Amino acid sequence: MYQMCIVPGGIDTVWRRCHRPLVSYRLLRPALFTLDPERAHGLAIAALRSLPRKAAAPGGRLTTEVAGLAFPNPLGMAAGFDKDGEVPDALLGQGFGFVEVGSITPRPQAGNPKPRLFRLAADRAVINRMGFNNRGAAAAAARLANRKRHGIVGINIGANKDSADRVADYAQMTRIMAPLASYLAVNISSPNTPGLRALQDESALTGLLDAVLDALGDAGPPVFLKVAPDLEPADIDSIARIAIDKRLGALIVSNTTLSRPALRSSDAGEAGGLSGAPLKPLALQRVRDFRRATGGALPLIGVGGITTAADAWERIRAGASLVQLYSAMVYEGPAIARRIVRGLEALMQRDGFTSIAEAVGSE
């Protein structure tokens, strides 16, 4: 939440300077929504730099262990919000149990032509075709190396659009980022880099993960794999089988979708990946599908359309050990994290569970 105040310079200056928790984000949101979405996002990052940076400590009722990591609560910020690793600690300070930064590529990348980010306010959704825009591995690594390393921060890695060898890009990113990451998330599911989703095919995925795990060695952080929601049943089964065989730490289910359910907003026809509330039914079903395909042998992280504690709880009951959000924060502001965490604790108590782990897959 941020203070609405009057200072010279208009909304840009207000957003950067006025950040005391006096007035709800919802009062500021109409002014932010008059701005181009990318510009508003940049202002959000700028505002977060000045917010508290104390991560929650594990040990509470919502603490859950995944891939050997103790998450203080199961709610994370998904990749895409903090592409360059600028504000992970500020996000942890807002109540998130973990933060995933990126996607980061070996070389700086401008991404796709603008406009490439669209708010679908009537649908509480977002369409993006960003294209892995980021300042590159060297800049992100330098910034992340200066953290005090409190809290769980995953690093989402990708390949450059014009790379001659994308598998080599992922191996390079693994070597660079492994020493700085609580976990590595291998992102092969963005719909906005041509050909990237082909790496989800069985033979390509096996080769990619072999290269990543070879680059990681024996002492690196756990490796998570982020998959698309737009998968056929055979794809789900093969990905689950490979992930278990390679002993991955978790599957992140899922990224944005190229499908288009019924939408009301004028930008509904824009190309790119759809996220937010309309993605919820598909993303929920994919968690159920991967829970069945893995037999519960591999932790799942549920992403897509999570706005409330009830949404997060439903995803956990369906089989997700952790959940993430991003688009909902566009509409609800940073207070959403603490609100969902409080709600999860109440729901866990209501349903008679003593831990998140006990509730996973219990529907």
SS (H, E, C) the chain: CCCCCCCCCHHHHHHHHCCCCCCCHHHHHHHHCCCCHHHHHHHHHHHHCCCCCCCCCCCCCCCEEECCEEECCCEEECCCCCCCCCCHHHHHHCCCCEEEEEEECCCCECCCCCCCEEEEHHHCEEEECCCCCECCHHHHHHHHHCCCCCCEEEEEECCCCCCCCHHHHHHHHHHHHHHHCCEEEEECCCCCCCCHHHHHCHHHHHHHHHHHHHHHCCCCCCEEEEECCCCCHHHHHHHHHHHHHCCCCEEEECCCECCCCCCCCCCCCCCCEEEEHHHHHHHHHHHHHHHHHHCCCCCEEEECCCCCHHHHHHHHHHCCCEEEECHHHHHHCCCHHHHHHHHHHHHHHHCCCCCHHHHCCCC
pLDDT class for 14, splitting at 50, 70, 90? very low
pLDDT over 50 (residue 17): no
CA distance 198 to 178: 24
pLDDT over 90 (residue 193): no
Mean pLDDT of 32-38: 94
pLDDT over 60 (residue 21): no
pLDDT at position 137 is 98
41 versus 149: which is more confidently predicted? Answer: 41
Catalytic residue among 190, 238, 254, 275: 190
CA distance 150 to 131: 30
Domains of the chain: 59-359 (3.20.20.70)
pLDDT at position 343 is 98
Mean pLDDT of 5-32: 55
pLDDT at position 5 is 37
Mean pLDDT, the chain, integer:
91
Instruction: Assess contact for 130 and 117: CB atoms under 8 A.
Output: yes
Mean pLDDT of 31-51: 91
Mean pLDDT of 86-109: 96
Region of poorest pLDDT, from 8-17, 190-199, 207-216: 8-17
pLDDT class for 2, splitting at 50, 70, 90? very low
CA distance 287 to 93: 28
Region of poorest pLDDT, from 64-73, 161-170, 187-196, 238-247: 187-196
pLDDT over 80 (residue 19): no
- Residue with the two structure tokens 């968690």: 287
Counting Cα atoms < 13 Å in the Cβ hemisphere of 35 gives 17
What's the pTM value of the predicted model, to 2 decimals?
0.93
Mean pLDDT of 71-98: 96
Mean pLDDT of 255-261: 96
pLDDT at position 198 is 84
190 is catalytic: yes
* Partners of 227 in beta bridges: 253
pLDDT at position 57 is 72
Q: Which of 139, 87, 81 is nearest to 108 (CA)?
A: 139
- Angle formed by the axes of helices 10-17 and 25-32, nearest 10°: 150
